[in-house]
Amino acid sequence: MNKIIKEKLKRIADFYPEERLAKSKKRLRQVWNGDLKRLDRYPFTYNPLVVNYYDVIETKEDRLQSLLDGFIARGFIKDDFIPSLFPGCSTATIPNMFGADELTVGGDITCEQIIHNENDIKSLPDPVLGESAKRWLTMQKYFLEETEGQIPIHVSDMQGPGDVCGKMWTYQDMMLTSYDNPEIVNLLMTKISDAFLLLWKAQAELLKGCFQPTHLFAWNWMPLKDITTISCDSMVMISPDFFEKFYVPHLEYIAKEFSNGMVIHSCGDFSSLVKPLCNLDIIRGVNAGQMKVSELVQAGFDDSKTIMCVADYKDVEEAFGIISEKELRVDLTISRLWDDSSCAPLTPTEVQKWAKEEYQHIKDKHKVIEEHALKLAENLK
């Protein structure tokens, strides 16, 4: 183990002792299991501090150091954050398993379009672990070895069948073809689902007991095992009928491999699909990247599933009020704790400065916010 990493792991262990982690894990288990009556307080997590978890960081070494620095920088905060390592996100990962090259456009990674007609779907090769997939596995192996298994490691964000289909083809062609030839659309979705399972299983086998089966909020720890998590951002632009016909069969196809089903994510406003999601037996939870608790409830979310969502720190009282009134299962992230307008990553120099000054300026600035959130959470027990 690298000496610097060893020192950081020791400091992280001091900030997050087993007693603290055990209490947070218990709260999260109780929420996910619907056992709300016995909560000592409601769980919540503040958003990341140092590194944007979805940034492309050049090397696995730099990414590990940045994540460890982030754990240390926020260690004094009294929330339910559980240190876990997130390798990153690339929407090109599964397309690359079929031979699509990665492309960088405006700083974001995407892929070349490799499907232009129905014959291209029929002639797709069987998926293999491509360079993009191997990069995630290499990074996860490095995390595992350097930390000696002391910190959980997330699955990478690979995207689900519908969104990969849109990348390899186009969303427009996928949707138009669904009217004329639904069989070919379902064939492509099945091929992509097989690729998803291939890479998921490779990561689970590599990481074993350290495997954290969620990439949804990359800083969240999830108590469920033998479960899958899927990004499905295209839910914002499809109807309930389209979802039922072209998405549900493939979500069920993937979920049958996991005894605890799945948790599904979408950014944007997917209000029209909230009720269909709640009615799906395979769904254990829904991760809303940009919908508030109030918006999810208005759209028909009930207490049968767990919500993973974000509340601005100014809206925390409203969010906890709805959670309490509706007796909802919510794994809540509180955002914008660090700055009134943004969450700008810190530089390594700033991290060192914080360590030296024991974070006093942040402690003072956010003491009232932190205590307010704790009080609200405790009142829900």
CB 47 within 8 A of CB 219: yes
d(CA 211, CA 208): 5
According to the model, what pLDDT value does residue 355 have? 43
CB 290 within 8 A of CB 241: no
Q: Who contacts 121 (Cβ-Cβ below 8 Å, separation ≥6)?
A: 115, 169, 184, 187, 188, 191
According to the model, what pLDDT value does residue 354 have? 42
According to the model, what pLDDT value does residue 357 have? 46
Give average pLDDT by consecutive 10-residue segment, the chain, 381 residues.
89 95 96 93 83 72 89 85 93 95 81 95 96 95 97 92 95 95 97 97 97 93 95 96 97 97 96 97 96 96 95 87 92 76 45 45 54 66 51
According to the model, what pLDDT value does residue 346 have? 46
Whole-model pTM: value is 0.90
Exposed, middle or buried by CB within 10 Å (0-12, 13-18, 19+), for 54?
middle
Provide the Cα torsion 213, 319, 29, 64; round to 10°.
40
- Amino acid letter, 129: L
CB 31 within 8 A of CB 329: yes
According to the model, what pLDDT value does residue 110 have? 84
Exposed, middle or buried by CB within 10 Å (0-12, 13-18, 19+), for 294?
middle
Burial 171-192 (b: 16+ CB within 10 A, else e): eebbbebbeeeeebbbebbebb
According to the model, what pLDDT value does residue 339 have? 54
Burial 3-17 (b: 16+ CB within 10 A, else e): eebeebbeebeebbe
Q: What counts of helices (H) and strands (E) characterise the chain? A: 16, 10
Closest CA to 147 of 104, 207, 229: 207
According to the model, what pLDDT value does residue 70 have? 84
- Kindly give the pairing relationship between strand 306-312 and strand 329-335: parallel
Q: Which two tokens stand for residue 1?
A: 């183990």
d(CA 174, CA 142): 38
Secondary structure letter of residue 243 according to DSSP: I
According to the model, what pLDDT value does residue 57 have? 64
CA 371 to chain centre: 27
d(CA 27, CA 80): 9
According to the model, what pLDDT value does residue 77 have? 81
According to the model, what pLDDT value does residue 367 have? 56
Closest CA to 36 of 373, 326, 370: 326
Q: Which residues pair with 85 in a beta bridge?
A: 153
Do you know the residue count of the chain? 381
In order of their start, the domains of the chain are 3-378 (3.20.20.210)
